[in-house]
Amino acid sequence: MHQQFDRSAEDLGNSIHLEHVNVTVPDQRLASLFYVTGLGLTRDPYLMVSDTNMWVNVGKSQFHLPSGSAQVLRGHTGLVIEGAARDSVALGNRNFPVFSRGLAIGACAKTKFGAVNEPLDFGGLSAQPGDIVVGDRDGMVIIDWDLVGRVYEAGLQRRGREQLLTEQLQKGKTSLELLGSLKVVKEHTAEGTASA
């Protein structure tokens, strides 16, 4: 019996791990400056050493960067590293998200090989294979795959509450009123007056 392939069964909420990303670039020199100098990744020293194609290592994964018209992937490609990154403004201007443990390092060192489908440590937090890693400029969160549904529902509820708060703020209410803090402020002010 023929079994229909169900893409949604492997869906990770529009997140995907690509072991090799193939993107054509118009200028090998600029690509080298971005991927190797800017991101601190390593050019593969043994394969594709010509000036028309470059392979850049990210642990066991690679960017394959043959020369050609600029190619843009659908969706978003980013980099998550347990280490530091530099040139955060330039990276931000390139619309290439990089989530790292720190910023402004002097130089990069490659001291060990990367791994695929093994736990990752991010400053004491552990991501297991299959976990969802989501980040923005404010930080990063690791969501256990078994909890994705509950976290999603909680996020929708929070977004709904925040939308209601925003509407009330736009109508002139204060955050003190909306969050129930006005009573605390009045009590604190009254205590300060009584003890004076």
Domains of the chain, residue spans: 16-143, 149-195
Each residue's pLDDT tens digit, 67-108:
988 877 666 667 777 667 767 777 777 767 777 777 765 555
Q: From the CB of residue 160, how many other CB atoms can be counted at a distance below 10 Å?
A: 10
Each residue's pLDDT tens digit, 171-194:
988 877 887 777 777 777 766 555
Q: CATH topology for 16-143?
A: 2,3-Dihydroxybiphenyl 1,2-Dioxygenase; domain 1 (3.10.180)
pTM: 0.39
Q: Is pLDDT above 60 for 151?
A: yes
